Structure formats: C-alpha cells, structure tokens
Amino acid sequence: MDKYEGLKQKLSNQKFPCKYMFKFITSEEKIGELKPHFQDAEIKTKASSKGTYVSFTAVVLAVNADEIISRYKSLSHIDGLISL
C-alpha cells in the first residue's frame, strides 16, 4: 500500500483549487533544502525554544490532490524532515 494513500483519501473530499498548508519540523541546516520546493508559497519559520529545530510552514494554492502528494514525494530525500 502506498504510504500516501491515507492522505489521498482525506483530500478526495477537498474542493480544488484550495490553499494547502505544508508543515514540517527540521534542523536549521535543512531549511535551505526545503525552500526551493516552495518558491510559490507563503513561508513562515520558527525556531524551537532551545534552537534545536525549526518549524517550517508553507501555504500554497493547490490545484489537485496529486500535486500535493507529488510535492511530499519530492521532499522524501531530505534526511531528518518530519511532516506534520
């Protein structure tokens, strides 16, 4: 079973186009790897209280569920990236 199947089911009831929020937790060093994938997004970052991690939020205008899943798949190579 595809690990994105659950997300695809959740998105099946969504009307498109719509704003979709991607949220991740990662290290400061990995932010540079994330940003190129979200050039079309409104981005917010916030460091954790100890500065160990950074939360990364990107809001994009998605045209369909496949676009969202494709973007998640394109980020799967980034080590230590936690999707929320």
Distance CA 55, CA 27 (A): 9
pLDDT at position 3, please? Answer: 87
Global pTM reads 0.91
The token duo for 83 is: 């999707």
Residue 40 has pLDDT above 90, yes or no: yes
The token duo for 74 is: 């394109």
- Write the pLDDT tens digit of every residue in 43-76: 999 999 999 999 999 999 999 999 999 999 999 9
Distance CA 37, CA 75 (A): 8
Helices (H) and strands (E) in the chain, counts: 3, 4
% of the chain beyond a pLDDT of 70: 99
pLDDT at position 2, please? Answer: 81
Residue 80 has pLDDT above 60, yes or no: yes
The residues pairing with 19 across neighbouring beta strands, listed in sequence order, are: 61
Where does 5-83 sit in CATH, by number?
Answer: 3.30.70.260
